[in-house]
Amino acid sequence: MKQKAIQILLALFPALLFAQEKAVQKLINGKPCDTCIVKYNLSYSNVLPYVFIGATPNPERLYREYRAFKESIPDQPFEQNIFLITDSILNVVFLTGEDENADRSKSFFKWDENYDYKEIEISIEKNKKQYGGWQTLSNLDSIKDYRISRIRYSEKTQGYIVAKWKSSHQTGELHFMYNDVVEITLRRKKSKEILRKLIIRRQLDRPVHFFYWQSEITSSNVKKVIHDFLDMPLRKVNFLRGDSAARFELNQGNIGVLFFKWLETGEEIEYSFTGTGDWQSIQRLKHSLSEGAFLLLDQEDIPPGKTQSLYLRYKGQPGSIHKIEIQGVSNIGQTSFFKVTAGFMLALLLFAGWYLLKRRLHKKQIAALNRKNKDIETRLSLLSGQLNPHFLFNSLHAIQGTINSNNIGEANNYIGDIARFMRNSMDYSKREFVSLAEELYLEADYLQLEQRRKYFTFDLVIGKEVNASQIDFPPLLLQPVLENSVRHAFGKHTKPVLHIQVSGSNRDLVVSITDNGEGWNMKGRAEGHGLGLVRKRIELINEKMQHMRICMNIRSVQDEGTITTFTFENWLI
């Protein structure tokens, strides 16, 4: 209880000291949310000011990776800005200030030249592949979900003034997988002179940048422990670094501190003692004195005599898991030898026998559970491996039909796009989970491939209550269902439509896939190979994660269509 009280005190202390205006705020029902934490970076550039929303570029902990990436970019006669991000979704918003006036020359932030955004063009490339072509910057949509404030200094009032920007122009959400590089180029419309280029890469980042420290807690030294903790960034005595060690100790009666340094504002660390669920979040407070986040551990978390695994990851990045082990060390010296009586020794021996027997039984249970989990993971891997050949089998028929129609160029392009999709799907299938946003992005890519050979329309609706980038999801679970609708449902339908709905109900995630195809008699017709694979995967996942079950329900009406509903119980926590 004493340790937990210290943890609450240290967590609240920095947040009570400071308050300041936020440059970027999320809007909920049109009103700024003061409690919402938004990752952003506002650049008061003298050429086209802009703001990143959704990611904080170039975190200090990735300095080496940033330097190596920057040195790999050749110099150009125009201005280049190099960025590393760790998040999967980024929105870039370009801003314009107020018109020229008498107070402009006295503002704290100013730039040499005002650009007419109607005369500026923008191009976006991802991994050297352009999409969307060149667009006029002023034609981009304005930002609706966030309020972006312009903070500048006034000599008249001797203080900072918070005002609105004249206009905003957003790229929309840019989706990144690890090592993806996006280049945003800005040029003059008439002369084609390049003004600026933003080069952004997503870097894999694991939470290894922390210090570990422990101290004894007694009724007389609580003040000293709090003082030492607050002084921690300045003293580097008796610290163990997370980037050079993966095994730590916690002595009985002590409190252990995992201090995560170099976190950006709003970044969160998630931890779990199992690695498969029950993830809990810690984050750097917006005005934290410690410039980081911390996790306190005591004997409830790390029992003496037990080695406990602790899994760490950045929130929203399921692939960044880092595992450490902490051993609870018993302090035998706390019991004086002269107080030990013969009766206690006998009780101790009986207890030791019982403990060893229980520990041996426990080890057997753990070993059996591990064997069961390994068997489940092996069977899941085998099933995932069957999905790619199933898709490839159907795709080869489509390519054959394109070649037979003597459209060799289209067939070559189709083969290249299918190869890219297969590579991404195979990368996903190697992982136990991906984010829901990554899964939906891949499935949309698949449907766009199918649209090139068969006419149909589709739409994807995600409820506001669902944060897709922060929800784990089994990779490629939806693909066979979508493939069934595209391949078998529509037939001769003149206006085939496929609708994907993602919503939340209490703690459950619900994904429904609806088509207006021919439907099928569920009693008189067996399920296909793809649906059979999906059901087998669900059975194995449910066997492994008994508190987070998945249910699949199919309702099909002949000549009306089919609705397939996935319910993920307790996946929204």
pLDDT in tens, 194-223: 999 999 999 998 998 888 888 887 666 666
pLDDT at 106: 38
Which residue from 453, 442, 476 is spatially nearest to 395, judged by alpha carbons?
Answer: 453
Which residues sit opposite 164 in a β-bridge?
A: 149
Domain boundary residue among 178, 202, 226? 202
Q: Are 514 and 503 in contact (CB under 8 A)?
A: no
| Domain annotation covers residue 353 | no
**Which pair of tokens denotes residue 187?**
């040029």
Looking up tokens 């009666």, which residue turns up?
A: 253
- Angle of CA points 249, 252, 253, to nearest 5°: 125
Domain boundary residue among 172, 202, 232? 202
What's the DSSP call for residue 82? E
Both 173 and 136 in one domain: the answer is yes
Which residues of the chain are under the pLDDT cut of 50? 1-2, 8-19, 99-112, 234, 335-339, 369, 380, 382-383, 385
pLDDT at 108: 37
Q: C-alpha 90: how far from its chain's center?
A: 12
Both 51 and 2 in one domain: the answer is no
| Domain annotation covers residue 361 | no
Both 60 and 81 in one domain: the answer is yes
Looking up tokens 């990735």, which residue turns up?
A: 62
467: domain range? 371-568
| Domain annotation covers residue 358 | no
**Which pair of tokens denotes residue 545?**
């994660």
Q: Three-state SS string across 340-366, please?
A: CCHHHHHHHHHHHHHHHHHHHHHHHHH
| Domain annotation covers residue 254 | yes
| Domain annotation covers residue 337 | no
Both 131 and 219 in one domain: the answer is no
| Terminal C-alpha separation, the chain | 26
pLDDT at 105: 36
Domains contained in the chain, number: 3
As a whole-number percent, the residues of the chain with pLDDT over 70 amount to 78
Q: What is the CATH number of the domain that holds 507?
A: 3.30.565.10
Where does residue 93 rank: exposed (0-12), middle (13-18), buried (19+ CB within 10 A)?
Answer: buried
CA distance 90 to 69: 19
Q: Which amino acid is at 312?
A: L
Which residues sit opposite 473 in a β-bridge?
A: 434
Both 284 and 167 in one domain: the answer is no
- Angle of CA points 225, 226, 230, to nearest 5°: 115
| Domain annotation covers residue 3 | yes
- Angle of CA points 477, 475, 482, to nearest 5°: 35
CA distance 437 to 336: 59
| Domain annotation covers residue 34 | no
> What number of other Cβ atoms are within 10 A of residue 63's Cβ?
12
Domain boundary residue among 281, 308, 332? 332
Both 540 and 477 in one domain: the answer is yes
Instruction: Count how many residues are written for the chain.
Output: 573
Q: Give 358's contacts (C-beta < 8 A, 6+ positions apart).
A: none
Both 539 and 487 in one domain: the answer is yes
| Domain annotation covers residue 155 | yes
| DSSP-based three-state secondary structure for 296 | strand
> What number of other Cβ atoms are within 10 A of residue 70's Cβ?
15
- Residue 423: left if φ>0, alpha if ψ -120 to 50, beta else—which one? alpha
What stretches of 486-559 adopt beta strand conformation (E)? 497-505, 508-515, 550-557
Q: Are 474 and 481 in contact (CB under 8 A)?
A: no
pLDDT at 38: 87
Both 149 and 227 in one domain: the answer is no
Both 543 and 396 in one domain: the answer is yes
Both 521 and 391 in one domain: the answer is yes
Both 258 and 399 in one domain: the answer is no
pLDDT at 9: 47
Q: Give 572's contacts (C-beta < 8 A, 6+ positions apart).
A: 465, 466, 471, 504, 506, 507, 508, 509
Both 316 and 419 in one domain: the answer is no
Provide the H-helix boundaries in 171-295. 222-230
CA distance 119 to 164: 23
What stretches of 155-267 adopt beta strand conformation (E)? 159-164, 167-175, 181-188, 194-202, 210-216, 240-241, 247-251, 254-261
